[in-house]
A and B are shown apart, each in its own frame.
Chain A
Amino acid sequence: GQQVMQIPQYQHVQEGEDFTTYCNSSTTLSNIQWYKQRPGGHPVFLIQLVKSGEVKKQKRLTFQFGEAKKNSSLHITATQTTDVGTYFCAGTYNTDKLIFGTGTRLQVFP
């Protein structure tokens, strides 16, 4: 079936370092969304990418959608302790099902 994998599973960084998580799908995605879930919290929407090769920025966060619409990445520049949480990508495949990735848990040390 359709699967969305994310790497790495965990990432520990020093505050101020950059962080990147990668999302890969076995088949072409219609669109991809990114969510952040703080420990003990619920997923919070960050962004949606729809077009092949699309790049969007939100302050220190940069989101990319691959040309083949099978992969995506989230890059955080100069991490802060407030960035701690698990980052999930979630994609749709011409259906109404949103398939979540396995997530990348980010820990930031001050």
Chain B
Amino acid sequence: ETGVTQSPTHLIKTRGQQVTLRCSSQSGHNTVSWYQQALGQGPQFIFQYYREEENGRGNFPPRFSGLQFPNYSSELNVNALELDDSALYLCASSFTSYNEQFFGPGTRLTVL
């Protein structure tokens, strides 16, 4: 196990709702990245946080937002949920952005 935890493990929402996903990074890691993985696809980079500041963003709309806290845990918020947001959301922590990523088990989000 990596020491990265995510909650909840599963979530069902309806279109238009908002969701908050949480991630606790591995001890000593100050960088957290979030990914969206649709079924049968590779993880897609959403954004990365380094010491509480956003440090890079992928091709995701502004309704995907995040936070990193002083203890380096992190949140991913998604507003106005769409059906296509159904996916596995993975968070990964690392020492730096270029180091190996330690992934959590993911949150499976289903939007109906």
Report A's interface with B, CB cutoff 8 A. 1, 30-31, 33, 35, 41-45, 48, 88, 90, 92, 95-103
Known interface pairs A95-B56, A97-B56, A98-B33. Does A45 touch B42 (Cβ–Cβ under 8 Å)?
no
A-B contact count (CB 8 A): 56
Let me know if B104 and A42 touch, CB within 8 A: yes
**Contact with B45, one of A30, A31, A33, A98 (Cβ below 8 angstroms):** A98
Nearest 3 CB-CB pairings of A with B? A100-B42, A96-B97, A96-B56
Known interface pairs A31-B98, A48-B100, A96-B56. Does A43 touch B48 (Cβ–Cβ under 8 Å)?
no
Let me know if B56 and A43 touch, CB within 8 A: no
Does any Cβ of A come within 8 Å of B102's Cβ?
Answer: yes
Does any Cβ of A come within 8 Å of B103's Cβ?
Answer: yes
Does any Cβ of A come within 8 Å of B105's Cβ?
Answer: yes
Give the chain A neighbours of B105 by CB distance below 8 A: 41-42
Let me know if B103 and A99 touch, CB within 8 A: no
Q: How far is the CB of A77 from chain B (nearest CB, A)?
A: 23
Cα(A12)–Cα(B19), bound, Å:
38
Give the chain A neighbours of B43 by CB distance below 8 A: 43, 88, 90, 100
